[in-house]
Amino acid sequence: MAQTALIISGGAPNSTLIAGALEAFHELGVQIDVISTAGAGALLGLMYIAPKNGDVVSTLRGLKEMGVADFIYRAFPVNFKVFHKPGPMAAAYRQTLNPLLQMVQQWPASNEWAQTLKDSTTLTLASACPSNLCSNSLGLCAHIPFAEQIIDFNSLQTSRTDFWLNAYNLSQHQMENWPHKKIDVLHLQAALSFPYIYPPTEINGDFYIEGAAIDCLNFKGLRQNYPELKEIIIFNLLGAEKLLRKPKDLYDAWVMSIITPLVEIARDDIKLFEALHSDGIKLYKVPLIDAIANKDLPDVFNWSRSNMDRLYQTGYQTAKAYAKINLNHLIKK
């Protein structure tokens, strides 16, 4: 009987904040019956309950490897590790160079100089990649290519923790919510298909975009599917006005144009649930955003390695302290 749910919101690149929080929950043995996710939260949740290598901690910490060396990021503030060029020519290029790319990824980088050299090699290879991007393209980037390398979709089918992710069906004009037994790499791709950045994902003739673009916190169906639910823990990356600020440059202005409406959507999601469906349910809002120091807020949405490291540690420390005080009854003794 499911009594405790965890909501993981959409949000990137500050998603390492949640990765750190999940490590803390894993370390403490916090017992969760249901995980409901949206957007990047779907990727994080799957890394938590179905890591490919069987090691939750190393999989979550590996998310920091998506960060770009600070020296490079200051000069070129784009994450070429995550956002890959689209089209068949780019796919063929990456497939051909895959052995070299794998070797570069496994190259240990124990200090900032080594990280810069490693990422410089990756940037060179990414820059040389051809592309079919044109005015007829439906998205700027290819869908993330590494999901199957870090998530065991087979073990997900037998997960003891119920898991849900959402995506919006453009063809039927409705939000869809998939349980873990129906989730494969294509469903995850749909959940991450943020408009303009990625093209819609086609599943069984219907086209999907990221659910978090419309519903940042996936409360949908929790009361109907789990009427016995007693408490919900919330990891919310977006619902805080302190995230809104003056942009630093044109690229940052574009990032903020994506984030700004999502902040209010995330806030409204919680308000609506509290007003309409929270009777008899205790909400635990882990203060992840509040824990970010004011001096670090201007960098919270950049993909630099230092920011992703810092957010990971902040998430870990905040969630651990919060759980010990507020969720002690869920910690496995």
pLDDT tens profile 296-333: 998 999 999 999 999 999 999 999 999 999 999 999 87
What pLDDT was estimated at residue 279?
82
Query: Is residue 293's pLDDT more than 80?
Result: yes
Q: Are residues 285 and 234 in contact, defined by beta-carbon separation less than 8 angstroms?
A: yes
Phi, psi of 37 (to 5 degrees): -135, 165
Residue 101 pLDDT: 87
pLDDT class of 273 with cuts at 50, 70, 90: confident
- The answer to whether the CB of 165 falls within 8 A of the CB of 192 is no
235 bridge partner residues: 8
Residue 202 confidence (pLDDT) above 90: yes
- Name the phi and psi angles at 226, rounded to 5: -135, 75
Instruction: For domain 4-68+147-330, give the CATH superfamily.
Output: Cytosolic phospholipase A2 catalytic domain (3.40.1090.10)
Predicted pLDDT of residue 192? 97
Over residues 140-194, the pLDDT tens digits come to 999 988 899 999 999 999 999 999 999 999 999 999 999 999 999 999 999 999 9
- DSSP state string for 225-251: H-TT--EEEEE-SS--GGG----SSHH
User: 319, 24 in Cβ contact below 8 A?
Assistant: yes
Question: What angle, rounded to 10 degrees, do the helices at 40-49 and 16-28 form?
Answer: 30
Which residues share a beta bridge with 59?
Answer: none
- Extents of the domains making up the chain: 4-68+147-330, 70-128
Q: pLDDT value at position 140?
A: 96
pTM as predicted: 0.95
- Mean pLDDT across 36-59: 96
